[in-house]
Amino acid sequence: MVEKIFENWLLKFISLAFAVVLWFFVMGESRMEVNHIVALEYQNLPDGLMIANEIPTSVAIRISGPRAMQMNLNPGDIRLAVDLRGLSAGVTSFRRLEESLNLPSGLKITRISPSYVDVKLERVRERQVPVRVILTGEPAPGFIVKSFKATPAKVSVSGAESELKLVSEVVTEGIDLTHVQESFSQTVAISYVGNYTDLKDTKTVEVQVVLQPDPKYVAPQPPLPAVEEFNSEGKKTQ
């Protein structure tokens, strides 16, 4: 029995080794598809320009290839970049994004979404706009607002040229005057949110509010005491 097991052992060993190698070869060559989310980077933005439209920051891809290569693929090594070098203001469409992927030979992109991106570049501009102070509530009775002002009175807004043309002013956060009866100064944040523009440097202003007595105000008078009335007989009337 034992002799039969070891009979032609060399041939059996070679057969076993061949079977193992064949199994690894088949497993390695069997194809599979794997989905990945890949960051989309925008590189080499020209000086003086900015991206002024909604753009994707990642793409979904499906990679097909041998199982062994898929297993050895590190998702963190997959890079996808859009090169903006040399572009001028306007809209540029980048298609066939899969051609920018740095995949090892043997792997293939079977699906990519989105498959293209449109990038709108605009010139970066800056302008000074006035600050409008927002007051809420009413001062204490007998007082009115004489004057108010913001320092600085104007601030710089910068960003996409087309949006900047529509910015005529910025406003402060509301300053509550409810029950206030004396002048004051307060540091207030500027309330501004643009799509492709933003405050350049100054984010807050100093607001001075001056109150004065209201010349038209009439203080409420206390009620007069009740007058007792008597009849001809000297008795109180009801």
Q: What is the pLDDT of residues 22-74, one digit of tens each?
A: 455 545 457 788 888 889 999 999 999 999 999 999 999 998 888 888 877 77
- Between 76 and 208, where is the model more confident? 208
Strand partners, 142: none
Give the model's pLDDT for residue 28: 47
Q: What is the number of other CB atoms lying within 10 angstroms of the CB of residue 199?
A: 19
Q: What is the mean pLDDT of the chain?
A: 86
Q: What residue spans define the domains of the chain?
A: 30-115, 124-213
Taking the model in full, what pTM does it have? 0.71
Q: What is the number of other CB atoms lying within 10 angstroms of the CB of residue 207?
A: 21
- The helix/strand/coil state of 82 is strand
Give pLDDT tens digits for 97-134.
Answer: 888 887 777 888 889 999 899 999 999 999 999 999 99
Most confident of 58-67, 155-164, 229-238: 155-164
Confirm whether 30-115 and 124-213 share one CATH topology.
yes
Compute the average pLDDT of residues 199-211.
96
Round to whole Å and give the CA distance between 170 and 204. 11
Amino acid at 106: G
Alpha carbon separation from 10 to 2, 4, 18, 19, 199 (Å, rounded): 15, 13, 12, 14, 82
Give the model's pLDDT for residue 236: 61
Amino acid at 101: L
Q: Per the structure block, which two tokens stand in for 187?
A: 């540091």
Q: Per the structure block, which two tokens stand in for 214?
A: 């209201």
Fold of 30-115: RNA Polymerase Alpha Subunit; Chain A, domain 2 (2.170.120)
CATH superfamily of 124-213: YbbR-like domain (2.170.120.40)
Q: Per the structure block, which two tokens stand in for 164?
A: 């900047």
| Residue 4, pLDDT above cutoff 60 | no
Strand partners, 223: none
Round to whole Å and give the CA distance between 103 and 38. 12
